[in-house]
Amino acid sequence: MVSYITNILYKYVFSKIKFFLPSKYTCNKNNDINSRIDRWKIIVLLVLQLISLILTVAFLFRTYGFNLSSSIFMYRSSSTGEDAVALPSMVKLLRRIALSSGYIITYLYLNGIVYKNKKNRLLELICILLAILNGFMLGGRGDGIQIIIAAIVQYIALKVYSSNQKRILPVKDVLKVIIILAIIVASFTQLGELLGREMDFLNYNDYIAVYLSAELKNLDIFISSGSYGHPISKSLTLYSIINSLGGILHQPQWIHDFDIPFRYYGGYALGNVGTIFYPFFYDGGLMGVIIYTSFMAFFCQIGYMKFVEADKKSQLNLMFIFYSYLAYIIVFSFFSNKFYEIIFNTSFIWCVVSWVLVKYFLMRIKVKV
């Protein structure tokens, strides 16, 4: 039903709407996007990535000491406590632009591979690696993995688009994707150790098993308890935006904790994750699941339709970038409430603003060097 309604609305309403910035320039659709990107602009973004990384490392060393893994772990451990030390505003701003630009540079790099344009390729690759490294630098794996997932989605879409054969992907490209995903899973514990996490208490098989199943057990325990149905001011689904509005509108009663307890079962630590459905049930029971799931499905379907119809060769289409960004959120919804945590958050607004600025810089700024 949601899919049917979405298709109708898209056909008569959303297909007419220009998302983000409409294009004010024309281009030769026979040329790929890299042919119109000046080398010096990629260098500027690379320098920005490097400065962001250096300032982040300098902040960690200055605040927590010169052991990088320990500094990352200490920052992450204290980031939500009363003794948390906030990133300087300038570092935070640079990191937002650096991470956001990573998705655009990834698209340019993959576009160059698919359409066999080597212009700026090495610089773009270095930019991508720095963006991923920036994503890991504060202890979370999410930002870095999100760029990698976006790259996989972009590559598949570009290959299908370039072949002019709908829904067909060569076997060798499928194998490439499988290998990349296998490497990510295989390196999960090692990456955790590099980011300062203690991983010795579980062997690899147990760690992956707990990581993939803990959220389902937590959801099962919560549903069995039957304690769901809470006011919107205590919402877990809209936790980030409710707390932000509480601060902006001076409503302290809206500001609340993320009330998912840390659980143990059978001698294993399950954490405090419960798939995307935990907060839906918490907020409104079965009706909450129906409403929140329907909205998410509608939103993602519109994004997908814009993604499919985007010119993936000669245009820097931000809806294409957005859906590749959204792919990680959809995939990791099995883990927690990624969709509402990330999309209904002021950080996402800054991400979109950064995309618009980076696109304007790449496509509209003209300087002869």
**Each residue's pLDDT tens digit in the chain (369 positions)?**
666 677 676 666 665 565 554 444 445 555 789 888 999 999 999 999 999 999 999 999 999 888 888 888 888 877 766 666 888 999 999 999 999 999 999 999 999 999 999 999 999 999 999 999 999 998 888 899 999 999 999 999 998 888 775 566 777 878 888 888 888 777 777 777 777 666 555 677 777 788 788 899 999 999 988 788 888 888 999 998 898 888 888 888 888 888 788 888 888 888 888 899 999 999 999 999 999 999 999 999 998 988 988 888 878 999 999 999 999 999 989 888 999 999 988 889 999 999 999 999 999 888 765
173 shares a domain with 56: yes
Residue 51 within a domain: yes
325 shares a domain with 363: yes
User: Given 152, 173, 200, which residue is the final one in a domain?
Assistant: 200
252 shares a domain with 139: no
Backbone dihedral angles phi then psi of residue 268, each to the nearest 5 degrees: -110, 145
Distance CA 49, CA 34 (A): 20
Q: Position 268: which residue type?
A: Y
- Which pLDDT does position 23 carry in this prediction? 47
Residue 79 within a domain: yes
- Which pLDDT does position 191 carry in this prediction? 77
230 shares a domain with 106: no
152 shares a domain with 263: no
User: Given 200, 225, 259, which residue is the final one in a domain?
Assistant: 200
Task: Please give the tally of structural domains in the chain.
Answer: 2
- Which pLDDT does position 16 carry in this prediction? 58
Domain range enclosing 133: 34-200
128 near 53, Cβ under 8 Å?
no
Q: Which two tokens stand for residue 107?
A: 């698209």
- Which pLDDT does position 309 carry in this prediction? 86
52 shares a domain with 176: yes
248 shares a domain with 173: no
Distance CA 165, CA 270 (A): 44
Q: What is the pTM of this model?
A: 0.87
User: Given 173, 200, 227, which residue is the final one in a domain?
Assistant: 200
Residue 11 within a domain: no
Tell the residue number behind the tokens 């059978």, with chain if given.
266
Distance CA 347, CA 339 (A): 13
User: Buried b vs exposed e over 281-312: b needs ≥16 C-beta within 10 Å?
Assistant: bbbbeeebbeebbeebebebbbbbbbbeebeb
Residue 29 within a domain: no
